[in-house]
Amino acid sequence: MTLFMQLQGSLLASMRKLGAVVLFLGEILAQCPAAFTRPRLISAQVHNAGVLSLVIIMTSAFFVGMVIGLQGYDSLARLRQEDILGAGVALTLIKELGPVVTALLFAGRAGTALASEIGLMRATDQLAAMEVMAIDPIRRIVAPRFVGGAISVPLLTAVFNAIGILGAWFIGVYIMGVDGGAFWSQMQEYVDPSDIGEGVSKSIVFGIAASLIAVYEGYNCAPTAEGVGMATTRTVVTTSIAVLILDYMITAFLI
Amino acid sequence: MKAALAADNLIEISGLRFSRGSRLIFDGLELAIPRGSITAIMGPSGTGKTTLLRMFTGQLKPDAGSVLVAGQEVPRLSRSDLYALRRRMGMLFQNSALLTDFSVFENVAFPVRENTDLPERLLRNLVLTKLQSVGLRGAANLMPSELSGGMSRRVAMARAMVLDPELLLYDEPFSGLDPISLGVVLRLIRLNNDALGLTSIVVSHDVAEISHIADHCFVISEGKVIASGRPDELADSESELVRQFMTGAVDGPVPFHYPAPDYRQQLLGSS
Ligand SMILES: Nc1ncnc2c1ncn2[C@@H]1O[C@H](COP(=O)(O)OP(=O)(O)OP(=O)(O)O)[C@@H](O)[C@H]1O
Ligand SMILES: [Mg+2]
């Protein structure tokens, strides 16, 4: 009974938060046209959120690629189907692992940085000071960060996929001796444009969700040191859950 | 009569009521601030002095009552009218609120860059002039993390006045300053007010300091103005309340304690 009530309570709280996040998205979108008139602010954020995440994305991608290469080789070798390793790896990465893992890593590296940066501005009255200076903090601070993050995720996903495939190639072809020509040609054969479309649409949705959650948590954090800490934690937790739920929904919708 | 008053007063507050949760912060507050003067707002910690300033800037809305600034009803202004009104104000925050990513120069330049299209050369001169007036032209390239508390306060002052506002709000400009910086800040407030012809509102509990420069004082306690007048009038006021505040007695009609259950009972109580 108490468990049921707890579930009901947290479900209600999640719904209320979802509503608040959607309203916040509306506020940001209303300021986006103004933000686009200053592309430098956005490109600075693509640098912050995207370029600075590159190392962690590339390292993770190489290892994820290697482990899929190894597992894939092990399974396929039992069926004497090693030649389709390239196709299997590419499909797994492009449709599923690339967008999901990139979004999770983005939440950990860039999302937390965004939330704590904006949260600190809230806690030290910098946002209030801007309001008094007749500068809308949503336009000047939040919108460029949201757009920069949302642009970064699909780009990072593309990098993740490319490096991941390279990792799988390294294990499969270079170490395990799968035929290199077969690896690439089977990949070309089996990966459809629609698969790529699925991956790209996922990464766009995840980028919007991850950036939105990070700026929302930062902007609405309690104006104290603990408030900022809690906002960063909530950013990772909420983004992870949101990405996994959205991933299922998009997959179910597209298949 | 009312219209004649409105002409000289930049700010008029009447019947202001505001509460945070169950705590009533303003309970029918009345206040009028004449143009061109320095007005001190005093009161014990936690009475809502910062909250009152946020009513002037429209960052908080009252539950009831009227907040007239420059003849405009702040809580009812549309967003764009409110932003237009804010361009005529400057505010010094209690904790300076400098933008941590920007240098001193860029902090002062920030409101100019965002609100005007001033050419770079003019902007540079404007910012350097304001920094010179607070004695920190030499610190233009430092980052906020490299400043002392008093220096940050002065940078924030330069930023608040960079667009030559009509109204400057200072929230606790003296707290944590050494005697020299304090003297500098006091002199700056007076100088700004007289040279630029603006209206200044200074929130402070440094009774002695503020008495030097204020033309008029309001003492706020428990949601109301409990006394107002020139600093020397307040010092020999009849009211026990006001004398307690001006002389700094610990307890008296103005409670030192935040509302709490009975002390003895709480200490001896079982849980
Ligand atoms: N965000 C908030 N949420 C709830 N209560 C608040 C909030 N901010 C302030 N308060 C309460 O409002 C009251 C007035 O706060 P305010 O900051 O205006 O006081 P103050 O007069 O400026 O005090 P000080 O001199 O210490 O700066 C305080 O009792 C405080 O507890
Ligand atoms: Mg205060």
Q: Is residue B262 a part of any domain in this protein?
A: no
Q: Is the pLDDT of residue A244 over 90?
A: yes
Q: Is residue B259 a part of any domain in this protein?
A: no
CB of B223 shorter than 6 A to ligand 1 = no
pLDDT at residue number B250: 59
Task: Give the pLDDT band of residue A53 (cuts 50, 70, 90).
Answer: very high
- Residue of A125, A131, A132 with shortest CB distance to B95: A125
pLDDT at residue number B253: 61
CATH number at residue B152: 3.40.50.300
Number of domains, chain B: 1
Q: What is the pLDDT of residues A55-92, one digit of tens each?
A: 999 999 999 999 999 999 999 999 999 889 999 999 99
Q: What is the pLDDT of residues A78-130, one digit of tens each?
A: 999 988 999 999 999 999 999 999 999 999 999 999 999 999 999 999 999 99
Q: Is residue B188 a part of any domain in this protein?
A: yes
Cα(B30) to centroid of ligand 2, in Å? 19
> Which chain B residues contact residue A125 at CB under 8 A?
93-95, 97
Is the CB of A134 less than 8 angstroms away from the CB of B84? yes
Task: Give the per-residue SS3 of chain B.
Answer: CHHHHHHHEEEEEEEEEEEECCEEEEEEEEEEEECCCEEEEECCCCCCHHHHHHHHCCCCCCCEEEEEECCEEHHHCCHHHHHHHHCCEEEECCCCCCCCCCCHHHHHHHHHHHHCCCCHHHHHHHHHHHHHHCCCHHHCCCCHHHCCHHHHHHHHHHHHCCCCCCEEEEECCCCCCCHHHHHHHHHHHHHHHHHHCCEEEEECCCHHHHHHHCCEEEEEECCEEEEEECHHHHHCCCCHHHHHHHHCCCCCCCCCCCCCCCHHHHHHCCC
CB of B48 shorter than 6 A to ligand 1 = yes
Q: Of the bound ligands, which one is closest to the alpha carbon of residue B205?
A: 1
Domain residues for the domain of B237 are 2-249
pLDDT at residue number B270: 61
Chain A residue closest to B55 (CA)?
A132
CB of B47 shorter than 6 A to ligand 1 = yes
Is the CB of A132 less than 8 angstroms away from the CB of B110? no
pLDDT at residue number A136: 93
Q: Whose CA is nearest to atom 24 of ligand 1?
A: B45
B25, B53 Cβ separation under 8 angstroms: no
pLDDT at residue number B62: 93
pLDDT at residue number A138: 95
Q: What percent of chain A has pLDDT over 70?
A: 100
Q: Is residue B192 a part of any domain in this protein?
A: yes
What pLDDT tens digit does each residue of chain B (271 aa) get? 344 444 588 899 999 999 998 889 999 899 999 999 999 998 888 889 999 999 999 999 999 999 999 989 999 999 899 999 999 999 999 888 999 999 999 999 999 999 999 999 999 999 999 999 888 999 999 999 999 888 898 899 999 989 989 999 999 888 777 888 788 888 888 888 888 888 999 998 777 788 888 999 898 888 888 888 888 787 777 677 677 776 666 566 666 677 788 888 888 876 5
Chain A residue closest to B161 (CA)?
A133
Is the CB of A132 less than 8 angstroms away from the CB of B91? yes
pLDDT at residue number A111: 96
Average pLDDT over residues A16-20: 92
pLDDT at residue number B94: 86
Cα(B80) to centroid of ligand 2, in Å? 27
Chain B residue closest to A122 (CA)?
B97
The reported pTM is: 0.88
CB of B37 shorter than 6 A to ligand 1 = no
